[in-house]
Amino acid sequence: MALSVKQQQQITEERRTQILSAAVKIFAAKGFANAKISDIASAADLSYGLVYHYFKTKDDIFTELITQAHNHFTEALGQLSEFEATPLEKIRIFTEMVAPREPDEEIACFATIILQAHISANLPDTIKSIIDNTISKHNEIISSLIIEGQKLGQIVQGDSKKLAYSHYSMLWGMIVMQIIATGATSFPITVMDPDTVIRALRNPQYNDSQGNRI
């Protein structure tokens, strides 16, 4: 009996998810340049030809992964408007959403390929555009929160755009340390937590509503 359209769509989504789940580990381990479709097919326990049925090129797979990461990042930024919180607290919430306190192997793999997308010169222009849009969206929203926080005396004075870039840099510093922490290291790693990031932005003279310094 022929499959219904709904069943076909479900199978397609399951196969794509299976391929992407395998691909993120392969790209993280081998890098974009060295990873092959055959590696991904083997890791997904699928035939070489079946992978090509769902993704025409390696670029398409990598682009889909980066797009998913971009969507997660920007959705987290968009959710900040829903919180009844101060600007500084919203920045803390976002920081914890993107860079959890505890290292996680799956998150580390995803973070590794995003880092590749940031620094590699040999990736498709589509991916570079996604990264540019991600940074732009981050700086737009975080900069506006910084300006609000500065008016309330919560956040240290200074150029809001430069402070937003500093937050982005610290965010990635946390993520890189988490990547290292989940790898095979010969020395203990202390991962910078969101509190450290927030203290770098907080006005030293600011106390919260309970009179406690953050």
User: Hey, where are the domains in the chain?
Assistant: 1-56, 58-214
Question: Which residues, in sequence order, are bridge partners of residue 202?
Answer: 155
Q: Mention the CATH class of domain 58-214.
A: mainly alpha
Q: Is residue 90 within 8 Å of 83, Cβ to Cβ?
A: yes
Q: Is the pLDDT of residue 1 over 70?
A: no
Give me the pLDDT at residue 5, please. 67
Please report, for residues 31, 62, 64, 150, 194, the alpha-carbon distance to residue 25 in angstroms, rounded to integers and kept in the order given. Answer: 10, 11, 14, 41, 26
Angstrom CA distances, 70 to 28, 134, 157, 174, 208, stand at 17, 6, 29, 18, 32
Task: Kindly report which listed range (17-21, 33-37, 114-118, 140-144) carries the lowest average pLDDT score.
Answer: 114-118
C-beta of residue 126 within 8 angstroms of C-beta of residue 70: no
Query: How do residues 85-120 score in pLDDT, each as one tens digit?
Result: 999 999 999 988 887 666 667 777 888 888 888 887
pLDDT per residue as tens digits for the range 164-212: 999 998 888 877 777 776 664 444 445 567 788 888 899 988 876 544 4
Give the pLDDT of residue 156.
94
Residues across the chain:
214
Dihedral (Cα; 57, 60, 61, 67), 10-degree rounding: 170
Look at residue 62 in the predicted model and tell me its pLDDT: 93
- pLDDT tens digits, one per residue of 123-134: 788 888 999 999
Question: Residue 155 pairs with which residues in a beta bridge?
Answer: 202
The CATH T-level fold of domain 1-56 is: Arc Repressor Mutant, subunit A (1.10.10)
Higher pLDDT, 83 or 12: 83
Tokens standing for residue 105: 């192997």
Give Cβ neighbours of residue 55 (< 8 Å, ≥ 6 apart). 16, 19, 61, 64
The pLDDT value recorded for residue 103 is 60
Is it the case that residue 37 has pLDDT exceeding 90? yes
Long-range contacts of 79-82 (CB under 8 A, 24+ apart): 80/141, 80/145
Would you state the pLDDT for residue 208? 64
Cα atoms found within 13 Å of the Cα of residue 209, Cβ hemisphere only: 4
